[in-house]
Amino acid sequence: MGKKYEYASSAETCEKMGREGRSDHDSVEWFGLAMYWTVLSRCTHAEDPEDRFIAELESLGTGQPSSAAFH
């Protein structure tokens, strides 16, 4: 598992905890941590084969035209 995936997974976990927070303060703290992990996952450079593969897929895109082209 690459670092980008680990960081994104941590962000998802924090978001889940934020939605289930016992108080508004807890939720705010969890969502803040989720934002931190999300930023890390986007800023991390590909360091292992899995990360490089994911980065390459993200750079290629789907080849599908944007919805703005149809509207």
Tell me, letter by letter, the H, E, C secondary structure of the chain. Answer: CCHHHHHHHHHHHHHHHHHCCCCHHHHHHHHHHHHHHHHHHHHCCCCCHHHHHHHHHHHHCCCCCCHHHCC
Q: What is the pLDDT along the chain (71 residues), one digit of tens a residue?
A: 577 788 888 999 999 999 998 899 999 999 999 999 898 888 766 567 777 777 777 777 766 666 666 66
How far is Cα 23 from Cα 71, in angstroms, rounded to an integer? 42
Q: What range does the domain containing 12 cover? A: 1-46
What's residue 54's pLDDT? Answer: 74
What's residue 62's pLDDT? Answer: 67
Number of folded domains that form the chain: 1
Q: Is residue 36 part of a domain?
A: yes
Q: Is 63 left (phi over 0), alpha (psi -120 to 50) or beta?
A: left
